[in-house]
Structure 1
Amino acid sequence: MGQGLGRVGRLFVWTDASRPGWDNSGTAALLGTRTILTASHMVPWGSSNWKALFIPADYNGSSLYGSSAASWVTNAQGYSNHSQGDDMAVMRLAVALGDSFGYFGNRTYNSAWQDQSVWTLPGYPGDKDNPPAERPWLHLNFPIIDDDNDGAGVELEYRADAYHGQSGAPVFAWFNGSPDVVGTHSGCEDNFGEPRQNCAAGGAALTNLVRWARSTWP
Structure 2
Amino acid sequence: MNNEGNHGSGALVGDRLVLTAGHVVPWQSEEWWMRFVPAYYNGQSLHGAGVRSYVSDVQGYNPDLSGGESAGYDWAICRLYEPLGTVDRLGHFGTKTYNPAWNGQGFWNNMGYPINMWFLGASLQGFIAVEDTDDDINGGLEIEHYGDTTKGNSGGPLFAFFGEGQPRITAVQSGYQAEDEDMGPINVAAGGPGMSRLVAWGRTNWP
Could you state the TM-score of these two structures normalised by the residue count of structure 1?
Answer: 0.87
Distance 1:14 1:190 in 2: 31
Q: 1:133 Cα shift?
A: 4.4
Contact 1:125 1:133 in 2 (8 A): no
Match in the other structure for 2:174: 186
**Shift of residue 192 of structure 1?**
5.0
Q: Does 1:217 align with 2:203?
A: no
Residue 69 of structure 1 corresponds to 51
Distance 1:191 1:157 in 2: 10
Aligned to 1:149: 135
Aligned residues: 197
Structural mapping, 1:1-218, within 5 Å: 12-15=1-4, 23-81=5-63, 84-99=71-86, 100-128=89-117, 133-152=119-138, 153-177=140-164, 178-193=166-181, 194-218=183-207
Q: Distance in 2 between matches of 1:217 and 1:31?
A: 12
- Judging by fraction of residues, say which structure has more strand: 1
Q: TM-score, normalized by length of structure 2?
A: 0.91
Q: Spell out, residue by residue over 1:51-110, the C-alpha distance to the aligned partner (whole angstroms, 9 max, x if none).
A: 010000000110011122100000000012466100100000000000111100000000
Letter in 1 for 2:174: S
CA apart distance, 1:119: 0.3
Q: Would the alpha carbon gap of residues 95 and 56 (structure 1) be closer, same or farther in structure 2, given more than 3 Å must change?
A: same
Could you say what the CA RMSD is over the residues aligned between the two structures, in angstroms? 1.3
**Alpha-carbon contact 1:14-1:24 (below 8 Å) kept:** yes
Q: Which moved more, 1:171-180 or 1:76-85?
A: 76-85
Q: In 1, Cα distance between the equivalents of 2:174 and 2:63? A: 14
Detail structure 1 runs of 4+ shifted over 4 Å in the superposition.
none
Query: Which blocks of at least 5 consecutive residues in structure 1 are unaligned?
Result: 1-11, 16-22
